Amino acid sequence: MKTRLLLFATLLGVTQAAQAQSLSCDLSGYRAAPGLIAGVEGDRLRLTWDGDGNQQVRLDLAIREGTPAIGAIAIKRERTAQWVTLARNLEPDFRVASGVRRITNQQLNPLRQLGVEITPEVVDEEKWTAFWDAPLDIGQSEPAFARNPPPPDGVANQPGLPRNPAEINRATATYNAERCQVKTNGARLEVSFPGMELGVFSGRLQYTVYKGTNLIRMEAIARTEEPSVAYKYEAGLTGMSVDDGSRLVWRDLSNLWQDYQLGGADNDGPVPLKVSNRVIVAESQLGSIAAFPPPHTFFWTREVETNLGYAWYRKDNAASFSFGIRQAEGEEEPRWQANFALYNARPGTWQRMPVYFYVSAEPAAATLESALAFTRRDHYKPLDGYQVMASHFHMNLGARLRASGSMDTKLPDLEALKAAGINIVSPTDRPRGETRLDVLADYAEAVRRHSDKNFLIMPNEELTVHLGGHWDILFSKPVLWTTDRTEGQPFVENHPTHGKVYRVGSAEDVMEMARRENALIFMAHPRAKGSTRYPDQVKDTDHFRDERYRGVGWRWGMGLDLSERRLSDYRVMPLFDDMNNWVADLPTPPKYILAITETYGKQPGDDIYANNPVNYVRVDSLPTPDDMSSVIDAIMRGDYFVTSGEVLIPSFAVEGTGTDRTIVADVEWTFPLEFVEVVWGDGQTTDRQIISATDLPPFGRHRFEIPFDTTGKKWVRFAAWDSAGNGALVQPVKLESATSTSTGR
């Protein structure tokens, strides 16, 4: 008997030792700091940090059969309070669906017109900005259009179609973690677990926590060597306990509260939910955990902002459930199905696929409001002295109002944009044919009738003639004009019905009209779609060098790659700097970027905020529709900044004289800030200084004063980017003859 008892005690000790063996974790990159603590305790890594207000948050991480699991999430309401455990024994839930990225004829047509030989190298370069691509749409032979009228350049059958089911790879992450690594990065802790496989990707799982907030970021960081990968991902937590008080809570698209109390049958798979603001909350009797994606980098470019259901839950059994974020596999309306391009994954690039969790001891409603604070409830914050402008919406404004039977009909598009905090909207109607002047006249009437003291419609139109590529022209007042002037026809005539009408037939005509009517030109979707290889092809022309040709549009989703550090890091950001080197020695102002959206009809409940960058234009008050010169003049001067909404730059200046200057910028943000940068060019090359901002708290404001030597530099600009991929940037300033230059306030 004694022998058996001794053997049993020995075996029990071995089992307990195996369960409690120390976690192998590299802490060499960790620096202990007040309010941001990490330490290995037996078989777990414990992170403890100061959260919102006087709260403290604790996250226990462990490796469970190779999986980087969450042992517990706990919170203290006050420092003297007891720890409250919100969840135990959770595991990450990541899934991907990937297909093949193809080039489209929408990109190839401009190349053919330019005489470019379509080689494999050209295809490999240009395919990453594909727009009318839908890698998960098996069997598609050509885009399904339901537009009237169709695009003038056409979108023909996409090369390489139809797709093959064997191209599609759907996978759930598997893990073989044996160790972890902890790194201090300013006021945050990053914990990485190598050994993750996710379909065509391989890499690591990472948890990040931030001092000053209850926010937790969980992300798959992985890469592939496959040559043409387009993909989407879903992420969440599994293992949430079903208790008496457990439920899932969200607001529906009418912004009404909904819940599911987990009383139904087990689910076979994830249940998609159409939630407002992309947030779902898991609530228990002790508190809540909200899940949501990054507000902007989660979305690739589409033609519409309709909500496709970005949250999910799954009741796994009577004792546990899962929840998180997801992307659909296609559009719900067939006419847009061919435009579902997904993310790019260039070979060898580290793709970051995050989900955020906000943990709280409060009930679901309060927790959801805390999560919404990161996007200011999906509302653009008013700033004194600025107006919030959004541009390039295909609304068919004049034609729709005429068809409604009354020019006073309220359109949901305008109401949805106004509700987001936008007070200048610039729709890009595209009237053609014999009815062009009638439709433009209706548009002008719509501008007058639907503008208000706090809301302004600014005339705009997208064109594809005379200047190369696609371009927008923003007017300071409604203007009637045509694009088909013939030889001998007057440039300006008095139309019997419409009065003053411009007849435009060349680039020179366009620029002369722009000068006379105080209009500005920006190229839409540069280096993509019908503007592939533009504006590069016209950079030496008189019309591009004209000061009225102000620059290009900034819509980040086209060619979205989750390895980018900045919005549109591959496409628009390099072009922004290239343009200013092209014109560095000209007497004209620098070239600017204008935030544009380029979507069609919209309704309340659409994800307007997530898909819509804006311009903060420095104008004290809104002008009247009869003379919007103050807005045009501010844009002409570069007195505005563009932003995703979370990061704001209320003031910016290049101060000082001589070569020793100081870049001064006031920046405010919601998500923890990542870095700010000073970017400059010498007329040939571009360089930058990146200043890490990871030591700054979330929901902060800071004045950056950065010494700047102007020697050999022709222009300079400033930008700020946060940890969720959101950002803001000011327009560049020329340096050659300036003694003291500033923009903003």
Residue range 564-585: mean pLDDT, rounded: 97
Q: Which amino acid type is present at position 280?
A: I
Both tokens assigned to 678: 């000073």
Which helix (H) or strand (E) segment holds residue 551: the answer is strand 549-554
DSSP letters spanning 353-390: EEEEEEEESS-HHHHHHHHHGGGTTT-PPP-TT-EEEE
Q: How far apart are CA 65 and CA 595, in angstroms?
A: 48
526: cis peptide before it, omega within 30°? no
Q: What pLDDT was estimated at residue 743?
A: 46
| Contact call for residues 326 and 332 (beta carbons, < 8 A) | no
Tell which CATH classification among 2.70.98, 1.10.10, 2.60.40, 3.30.70 matches the domain 35-97+170-375.
2.70.98
Q: What is the pLDDT of residue 429?
A: 82
Mean pLDDT computed over 311-335? 96
Task: Give Cα 441 distance to the centre of its chain.
Answer: 35
pLDDT of residue 294: 98
172 DSSP β-pair partners: 95
Comparing C-alpha atoms, which of 51, 93, 53, 52 is closest to residue 70?
93
Model confidence pLDDT, tens digit, residues 495-517: 999 999 999 999 999 999 999 99
What's the Cα-to-Cα distance from 89 to each of 104, 244, 280, 441, rounded to whole Å? 46, 18, 20, 64
The residue among 233, 229, 240 whose CA lies nearest residue 318 is 240
Residues 6+ apart with CB under 8 A from 419: 604, 608
pLDDT at 319 over 50: yes
CATH dotted code for 646-745: 2.60.40.10
Distance separating alpha carbons of residues 679 and 658, to the nearest angstrom:
19
**pTM of the full predicted structure?**
0.94
Categorize the per-residue pLDDT at 557 as very low, low, confident or very high, splitting at 50, 70 and 90: confident
Q: What percent of the chain has pLDDT over 90?
A: 89
- Considering the chain, what is the average pLDDT of its residues? 93
Q: What three-state secondary structure class fits 572?
A: helix
Q: What is the pLDDT of residues 194-235, one digit of tens each?
A: 999 999 999 999 999 999 999 999 999 999 999 999 999 999
CA nearest to 597, candidates 425, 718, 719: 425
Q: Which pLDDT score is estimated for 154?
A: 45
Each residue of 139-179: pLDDT tens digit? 765 554 433 334 344 444 688 888 999 999 999 999 999 99
| pLDDT band at residue 741 under the 50/70/90 scheme | very low
Sign of CA dihedral 472, 477, 483, 487: negative
Place of tokens 């402008």: 389
Is the pLDDT confidence value at 17 over 90? no
Query: What's the rounded mean pLDDT across residues 323-343?
Result: 95
Q: Which CATH architecture has domain 387-645?
A: Alpha-Beta Barrel (3.20)
Per-residue pLDDT reduced to its tens digit, 541-553: 999 999 999 999 9
Q: Would you list the domain boundaries of the chain?
A: 35-97+170-375, 387-645, 646-745
Mean pLDDT of 480-490: 94
- What is the DSSP track for 300-361? ---S-------EEEEE-SSSEEEEEE---SS-SSGGGTT----EEE-TT--EEEEEEEEEES
Per-residue model confidence (pLDDT) at position 450: 97
CB 672 within 8 Å of CB 698: yes
Give how far the C-alpha of residue 233 lies from the chain's centroid of Cα atoms, to the nearest Å.
16
Cβ neighbours, 10 Å, residue 510: 26
Note the pLDDT tens digit of each residue in 236-260. Answer: 999 999 999 999 999 999 999 999 9
> Per residue, what are the HEC states of 191-232?
EEEEEEEECCEEEEEEEEEECCCCEEEEEEEEECCCCCEEEE
**Structure-model confidence comparison of residues 6 and 512, the more confident one:** 512
Using DSSP bridges, classify how beta strands 351-360 and 288-292 pair: parallel, antiparallel or unpaired: antiparallel
In this structure, are residues 702 and 667 in contact, taking their beta carbons and an 8 Å threshold? yes
Output the pLDDT for position 141: 57
- What is the predicted pLDDT for the residue at 13? 38
When pLDDT is cut at 50, 70 and 90, the band that residue 640 belongs to is: very high
pLDDT mean over 368-384: 98
Q: Which residues of 201-212 are buried (b: 16+ CB within 10 A; e: fewer)?
A: bebbbbbbbbbb
- If one compares 532 and 147, the residue with the highest pLDDT of the two is 532
Q: In sequence order, what are the residues at sequence separation of 6 or more whose Cβ sits closer than 8 angstroms to the Cβ of residue 597? A: 390, 391, 392, 393, 555, 611, 612, 613
Q: How confident is the model at residue 615 (pLDDT cuts 50, 70, 90)?
A: very high
* Residue range 374-380: mean pLDDT, rounded: 98
pLDDT confidence of residue 6: 36
What tens digit of pLDDT does each residue of 422-449 get? 999 999 988 888 899 999 999 999 999 9
Nearest Cα to 47, choosing from 220, 57, 55?
57
* Tens-place pLDDT, residues 641-697: 999 999 999 999 999 999 999 999 999 999 999 999 999 999 999 999 999 999 999
Q: Phi first, then psi: what are they for 560, rounded to 5°? A: -60, 130
pLDDT at 79: 77
Asked if 177 contacts 63 with a C-beta cutoff of 8 angstroms, the reply is yes
Rounded CA separation 67/219 (Å): 14
Q: Which pLDDT band holds residue 5 (cuts at 50, 70, 90)?
A: very low
Q: Please choose, from the candidates 72, 41, 39, 42, the residue with its C-alpha nearest in 3D space to the C-alpha of residue 57.
A: 72
- What is the pLDDT, as a whole number, of residue 78? 87
Of residues 407 and 17, the one with the higher pLDDT is: 407
pLDDT score recorded for residue 140:
66
Q: Are the C-beta atoms of residues 353 and 327 closer than 8 Å to each other? A: no
Handedness of CA 634, 635, 640, 644 (dihedral sign): positive
Q: Are 302 and 134 in contact (CB under 8 A)?
A: no
DSSP string, 42-57: TTEEEEEEE-STT-EE
pLDDT in tens, 31-58: 999 999 999 999 999 999 999 999 999 9
